[in-house]
Amino acid sequence: NPGLSEWDFEGSAATPVEVTPGGDDFVCIVIDPGLEEETWLQGAEFIPDNVELVHHVVLFSDPTRASLDLVGDDGTYPCFGGAGVPGSVTAAWAPGVPPLDLPDDMATRIAPGTLFVMQMHYSPQGGATDLSDKTILRFRYADASPQYEVYTQLMGNLEFVLHPGLGLV
């Protein structure tokens, strides 16, 4: 899938994430795009560094910056089931899913100071021998307030709730 043709921000983990051999790992990476004023997000793209290891990515907004209380010195924390912060899903990626690329009249409102948390699902069972990853996140911002404000919500059909709004199979 073609990526975003242009972007305003690019971020990743400060250092590569090292995944333990064997089972699946869910690692949250805190990303600070440095937003000092209300911003309108029009595009988001994930570029996996290690395609044999990255199973999927869910991006959560963190407007209260609560992830700073969870994060370790390496900028990550374990996070099965969600990001553990009072934010919302902003975008998601799995192999074959194109970048979020909204039309000019649509965008998602982002409050000043908002952090983002990339919940990475790493699955080495697919044969990955390199257990290191530094996936890249890119954002494209709208030049002005859009006509339509976009909200993203994952929906599913589990009998129980993993995290508010997440009942996915």
Tell me what the mean pLDDT of segment 139-164 comes to.
79
DSSP 96: T
The long-range contacts involving 164-167, CB below 8 angstroms and separated by at least 24 positions, are 165/88, 165/89, 166/81, 166/82
pLDDT digits (tens, 9 = 90+) for 90-127: 999 999 899 999 999 999 999 999 999 999 999 987 77
Cα–Cα distance between 64 and 76 in angstroms, integer? 17
Distances (CA, A) of 82 to 17, 35, 119, 121, 143: 18, 23, 7, 11, 31
* Burial class of residue 118, CB neighbours in 10 A (0-12, 13-18, 19+): buried
Q: How far does Cα 125 stand from its chain's mean position?
A: 22
pTM above 0.75, yes or no: yes
Tell me what the mean pLDDT of segment 83-91 comes to.
93
Q: Would you state the pLDDT for residue 125?
A: 73
- Report whether 95 contacts 49 (CB < 8 A): no
Q: Would you state the pLDDT for residue 4?
A: 93
Q: Which two tokens stand for residue 48?
A: 């996996």
Token pair 């440095």 is found at 34
Q: Would you state the pLDDT for residue 89?
A: 93
Q: Which amino acid is located at 112 in the chain?
A: P
Tell me what the mean pLDDT of segment 43-56 comes to.
94
Q: Which two tokens stand for residue 99?
A: 């970048």
Q: Would you state the pLDDT for residue 2?
A: 73
Q: Are strands 76-78 and 132-133 parallel, antiparallel or unpaired?
A: unpaired
